[in-house]
A and B are shown apart, each in its own frame.
Chain A
């Protein structure tokens, strides 16, 4: 008599809703995962290398060894995410098979398909995807993404691209809300998205799924900046475990995301954090080495 439904869009996007107001931290082993959980992370991203090292090492960046991911899944009780290459639906199948909680189809890894993304509706496990603007965000949602994040420019410790992408999304939504209804068809065509999804976004005044900031967040103030710009939460990649005191910095960024509107608390948690990650200015990176333009 009672139907049990699994893998529905409601439970996929609903999981992202539980992560709101939280920090998702990149980790490369069980020890880092435990430090992240102890610091109050709402989830961890299991990687072989953090983006700063992927950037430094060059070469082809692929899905992490499932043994490393499973080691991390066994070490912590919070959700564990992992990345697959853009369009690499078999890496996604492998991640689903090991029971990962969320898949990040990520431009940080070398794309496997320069035309198509993974058709994410086919999976029981939810996906998060990066975007630089509203069109990218809604195209990913059409393909089945249950959560969106800004691309930013991963592995730099420079928040400027994450700010650009978050503002682009928010500005486009504000523009949409002021647009006469008879212009929506053309706008949908320009963005390459369905009229229905565009109307839903207009009605809600926000993306129809949870939208986190990612790509260059390195300090508590960076995290709070992204929250004040409208992010639902924050991914911190290299910023924590490439800093001098990861436990303390992670703990501070968690508090900054909760109290993002309270400058006094932000001042307190920003004190005595030790060395931040060194970072590189996103502007100094040659165009062909940027990660964010790897998919559209």
Chain B
């Protein structure tokens, strides 16, 4: 299994460090040809306006969208969630429109409002965090976005006590508002690797939709 990590800007090295701990081969992706031969892609945290521009200049939008449509696993964290959204609350950046979600950028305010909080994520039950006690997932939110519209075929994996969705899945696609790559807890990465290993076998969102035939908006 080989996982690509979009490396145009952001904390891609932190994602790669987690994947290496899980003995997964990694590929830094800055150009379209670096998408070849990978089984899944992580769009890391960073500045979404910067990611958006660099993806456009180096023609990464279409091949990443094609990958997602072909059923390969794609996961966006924070800025990556913004990039995977169908729509966001501002005109800039331009998202990839891969998941049927609406996302608000900087939803909690400025850096001073960044926070850490434990979340319940039942889909992680049974996955063992290496060296840690199973239980709540310690989530780190940095100038984080939230999902303000969850499409019918999208499953909410985690929400804040106020009901806002901060981790979502639509078949082979995942998005989290927070940064698992800044913790020692590898369970969400393991969950993503399971998706990447068997995208077709994945039960998908709620009613067992086949991700291969799932409508993917945009392109």
Q: Which residues of A contact B (CB under 8 A)?
A: 2-8, 10-11, 14-15, 17-22, 37, 40-43, 77-79, 96, 99-102, 124-126, 254-255, 257-259, 262
B46 near A: Cβ within 8 Å?
yes
Number of A-B contacts (CB under 8 A): 120
Q: Which of B14, B50, B140 is A11 in contact with, Cβ under 8 Å? A: B140
B143 in contact with A79 (CB, 8 Å): yes
Q: Chain B residues with Cβ under 8 A from A42's Cβ?
A: 9, 46-47, 50
- The minimal Cβ–Cβ distance linking A18 to chain B, given in whole angstroms, is 5
Q: Number of contacting residues on B, CB 8 A?
A: 40
Q: Which residue of A lies closest to B120 (CB)?
A: A2
Stretch in B35-43, B106-114, B121-129, B207-215 touching the partner:
B106-114
Check A125/B112 contact, CB under 8 A, given A14-B142, A17-B14, A101-B143.
Answer: yes
Q: Are B118 and A19 in contact (CB under 8 A)?
A: no
> Would you call A2 and B49 a contact (CB within 8 A)?
no
Q: In the complex, what residues of A have CB within 8 A of residue B92's CB?
A: 77
Given known contacts A5-B117, A10-B182, A17-B45, is B110 in contact with A22 (CB within 8 Å)? Answer: no
**A11 and chain B: residue at smallest CB distance:** B114
Contact B113 A6 (CB under 8 A): yes
Shortest distance between the CB of A144 and any CB in chain B (Å): 15
A77-B90, A99-B112, A258-B54 in contact; A3/B117 too (CB < 8 A)? yes
- Which one of B111, B116, B140 has the greatest number of beta carbons of chain A within 10 Å? B111
Seed contacts A14-B179, A79-B47, A258-B30; 10 additional CB < 8 Å A-B pairs: A4-B116, A4-B117, A14-B140, A18-B143, A20-B12, A21-B7, A79-B110, A96-B112, A124-B112, A254-B53
Instruction: Please state if A20 and B112 are interface contacts (CB–CB under 8 Å).
Output: no
